[in-house]
Structure 1
Amino acid sequence: MLFSAEISDFRTVHNVLRAISFKDYAILRPTEEGLKFTLEEMKSVEISAYVPRNMFSYYRIADNADVSFKISMKVFTECLNIFGDEGNPSIKLSYKNEGAPLCLIVKHSEENITVDCEIKTLNADDSPDFSLAEECNLNKVVFNANMLTEVLQRLDNGADDITISLNPDPPHFTLSTTGIAGESKVNIPRQSDSITIFQCQKKSSWKYAFHHIRQILKVMNYANKVAVFSGETGLLGLQLVINSDERQMYVEYYVTSLFGDG
């Protein structure tokens, strides 16, 4: 057995995975630290959800095993939600060997009903497991997630792109869009109660496809904190912290810029 795990309350995990499922397939990678789900779109967007080891009641990877495979996110999230909102089901995951299906045993403890599922797996692309955070090491701002979500929702949703600007001097953080209705802009000073960390080494201003930013709003509704990172190349990184029963899972989102002035 290459990988096996058990989790007793996966409601938060299900909600987050469903919210990030903007593509059909995800790469699932069990690591010593926990379970990682990664989705990618045309090399311009990458989103990863991390379910840490301490959220599982049982978690094991075969010694020296490098495990990764693709699964259908639609099928996986449907299996997690097979009992809907009823009860507090548990789930067991197992992956026997390369090419084998991902086996799920979903148990409804109150009704003593067990459902066995098998999800077809595909070989993952040969892509290195490295963090894009190294490219987003120039500026960092940490927000209260509710506030940033509200600000993004107030901007013109009909706009094609959004400009994100950071400046060591006022205005410190600016979001702006231009659409049929005109320009929409929000300035947030570093002194705002909604900002807990503001680190800006150099002024930067980059444009992004607004629909890429809107993709993260669904999962941002479950987050407590959002860290915004930027780098010299215009790559934008968002790290979301999601609390669940005194434990934390994380979502990382990276999107490439359209163009900008650096």
Structure 2
Amino acid sequence: MSSSALEPAAPDLVCQMDNVQGMVDAFSAVRWKRHQDAVIELSEHGVVLIVEETSCLQAKVYLQRELFIRYEYHAEGRPRFGVSLGLFVDCLNTFSAPGRSSIIEIRYPGPDMQLLIKSVDSLDACIYAEIRTRIPDTISWDYNFEPAGSSPLSFTVKSAALKEAIDDLEWPGSSIKISLQPAPPCVTFKGEGHGDLQIDFMYYANTDLLIAFQCDHQISYRYKYKFLQAATSNLPSSVIRDNRGSKLTMGRGGMLKVQHLVSVARPSTSHPHVDSAGYQQPSRIAYIEFFVKPEVNEDAANDS
């Protein structure tokens, strides 16, 4: 028997990342309850983490392969495995030191199908962790997002303003109706319950808050408050600090897509990272998407 026959098969993925805190921020943004399972999907293009709640809310974190300083992919197809999201985030946190750029290596699978993580940037010590994985349940609903028509129904609002508006809408104790109207261009969030609260974002009146708007007909849908809150409650402080915008799009049937951008750039130091081509790498971004099903179709006739 040849020696090569005795060698273990190469893992599906070996990758390294130089900003653990950025990964923690991105995954924490979709952690809306204490005990939460996640599905991780691997591909040659990068890593996607998926979480779901009662077939009405789904979130995805995209870490494109360009975010990693090393990305070796050997699998066929797109392997998936399940993990505890809380355990995964807490584990990554142990590799992140404030004010310091840590480099970690992630391998999957280990000998017993574990997710293996270790630090690789210290000569003095090595932190090593194994996370047990499971066979994932089937994703229970189709999260493919379809446009509502030929013209997009979308708006982009400053993330801090969006989070503040949804936080304020908690006290009416009801579902939230989101309405878009083209003339005058306006987005309205309205809660009617123990009290009434309406928040308007006028496009031309305050383009510092509502920074983009596309709508050619009036439309409105209601969404459960807890699902809208989950889409904004754990935005990383870096998103607020960087004054980023969040994009909301209404798709066919009132499916709401909420998109955030989280920086996973290496923290700036006195010696910024310069790649082999001799130039400094640009800021790197993780893409986060939430898909929220409507509670009540308020205006189905206008969504044809």
TM-score between the two structures when normalised by the length of structure 1: 0.89
* Preserved contact between residue 38 and residue 84 of structure 2 (Cα < 8 Å): yes
Query: CA shift at 1:115, angstroms?
Result: 1.8
Q: Which has the larger displacement, 182-191 or 21-30?
A: 21-30
CA distance in 2, matches of 1:7, 1:20: 20
Amino acid at match of 1:80: L
C-alpha distance after superposition, 1:32-72 (max 9, x if no partner): 22211000111100001111212111012115332111111
Query: CA shift at 1:156, angstroms?
Result: 3.7
Amino acid at match of 2:16: E
Matched-pair identity in %? 20
Q: Which has the larger displacement, 14-23 or 204-213?
A: 14-23
Query: CA shift at 1:234, angstroms?
Result: 1.4
Amino acid at match of 1:217: T
Counterpart residue number, 1:7 = 17
The residue correspondences of 1:18-29 to structure 2 (distance < 5 A) are 18-22=28-32, 24-29=36-41
* Preserved contact between residue 34 and residue 53 of structure 1 (Cα < 8 Å): yes
**Alpha-carbon spacing, 1:79–1:44, altered in 2? closer, same or farther (3 Å):** same
Counterpart residue number, 2:128 = 116
**Alpha-carbon spacing, 1:97–1:88, altered in 2? closer, same or farther (3 Å):** closer
Counterpart residue number, 1:231 = 251
The residue correspondences of 1:31-180 to structure 2 (distance < 5 A) are 31-62=43-74, 64-83=76-95, 85-86=97-98, 87-96=100-109, 100-107=113-120, 109=122, 112-127=124-139, 132-135=144-147, 138-170=152-184, 172-180=186-194
**Alpha-carbon spacing, 1:84–1:11, altered in 2? closer, same or farther (3 Å):** closer
**Alpha-carbon spacing, 1:163–1:154, altered in 2? closer, same or farther (3 Å):** same
SS in 1 for 2:145: helix
TM-score between the two structures when normalised by the length of structure 2: 0.77
CA distance in 1, matches of 2:155, 2:185: 14
Counterpart residue number, 2:295 = 258
**Alpha-carbon spacing, 1:164–1:149, altered in 2? closer, same or farther (3 Å):** same
Q: Which has the larger displacement, 42-51 or 136-145?
A: 136-145
Query: CA shift at 1:172, angstroms?
Result: 1.6
Query: CA shift at 1:205, angstroms?
Result: 0.9
The CA RMSD measured in Å over matched residues stands at 2.5
* Preserved contact between residue 2 and residue 97 of structure 1 (Cα < 8 Å): no
C-alpha distance after superposition, 1:223-261 (max 9, x if no partner): 322110102311111011123331111100011111032
Amino acid at match of 2:225: F
Amino acid at match of 1:72: S
Which consecutive unaligned segments of at least 5 residues does structure 2 have? 1-10, 266-282, 300-304
Q: Which has the larger displacement, 119-128 or 73-82?
A: 119-128
CA distance in 2, matches of 1:158, 1:107: 50
SS in 2 for 1:206: strand
**Alpha-carbon spacing, 1:171–1:10, altered in 2? closer, same or farther (3 Å):** same
Amino acid at match of 2:21: R
Query: CA shift at 1:160, angstroms?
Result: 2.7
* Preserved contact between residue 225 and residue 242 of structure 1 (Cα < 8 Å): no
* Preserved contact between residue 2 and residue 65 of structure 1 (Cα < 8 Å): no
Q: Which has the larger displacement, 160-169 or 250-259?
A: 160-169
**Alpha-carbon spacing, 1:6–1:38, altered in 2? closer, same or farther (3 Å):** same
Q: Which has the larger displacement, 67-76 or 242-251?
A: 242-251
> Larger radius of gyration, structure 1 or 2?
2
SS in 1 for 2:173: coil
Amino acid at match of 1:94: R
Considering fraction of residues, name the structure with more strand: 1
* Preserved contact between residue 110 and residue 116 of structure 2 (Cα < 8 Å): no
